Structure 1
């Protein structure tokens, strides 16, 4: 039991009003291209971490990024990911709503999809890479630090949901 707690990060410091404003402002610019950005994030995620494709039967055999980009299933999942983040960003002023949304995401991925929680941390890093590369004018280092703080909070909430449902690690060699 003690080991499970070691894997869970410490709760992130709450975002300040200024940090929430920075996130909402930069997200507004990203979300204008939400599907394309989401697709870019997922393609990079699956190319760099092919073991993550094991959870997606519909594109686990795709290795070509162009084929992934054309996949309607991948586009659909990209929209879902981006819409979930949008819901979080829109509700940063309401911690209970954020917690509820991320709790649902975590529980679904733990119980229904059986996704290792570490993939959320990896995906967060990939997303920050893509955002800083594709939107360098909106993601200078200071903004990236604020987004990193948000991603830490998202991971904390999602892993909390995993703990709540009694998640048992499926494999230690997933990555």
Structure 2
């Protein structure tokens, strides 16, 4: 666990990113086409993403009072609360992907997500960076024929934009880390 915490601390330093360049039309198509295949299995993929997040970065569970004490992976996979949150994550990504040509809609969604996680849930923004890496890893593992290096690069750019935008919302609302002993 100490190793994972060092990884989290290291990632925090990387949150001061430059604004990523916008997706090109070609990258937008690559993301949307690959997502169409992923979203067909959205519940299973969402659960896989969250399980991998919690197994590899157990400190992420601290923000989920409904299942933060569940250690058994099978029990966690069956948790209705985890499945519900996985569905929300996948639906939010779906909304972003469907609206990649509508920058106002994308900004609106990211602002809602950022404000909720900063103000209501007090989630350290480093977890968006961590989650982005987990999403890329799961997409590559679960869809190796779909997520080619070119597709992976487009997703990396999209997720960097997500992290940058959410971090900007955190800065805008004046988020400061609080005690991790919530819930």
Please report the TM-score for the alignment, with normalisation by the length of structure 1. Answer: 0.93
Match runs of 1:17-36 below 5 Å = 17-36=25-44
Matched, 1:13 2:48: no
d(CA) in 2 for partners of 1:156 and 1:51? 22
Matched, 1:111 2:119: yes
Find 1:151's aligned residue among 145, 159, 168. Answer: 159
d(CA) in 2 for partners of 1:37 and 1:121? 18
**Contact 1:47–1:63 under 8 Å retained in 2:** no
Gaps of at least 5 residues in structure 2 are 1-11
Please report how far the alpha carbon of residue 171 of structure 1 lies from its aligned counterpart in structure 2 after TM superposition. 6.5
Match runs of 1:1-175 below 5 Å = 7-170=15-178
d(CA) in 2 for partners of 1:22 and 1:171? 41
SS of residue paired to 1:110:
helix
Gaps of at least 5 residues in structure 1 are none
Please report the TM-score for the alignment, with normalisation by the length of structure 2. Answer: 0.89
CA offsets per residue over residues 6-36 of structure 1, 9 Å max, x none? 8431111000100000000000000000010
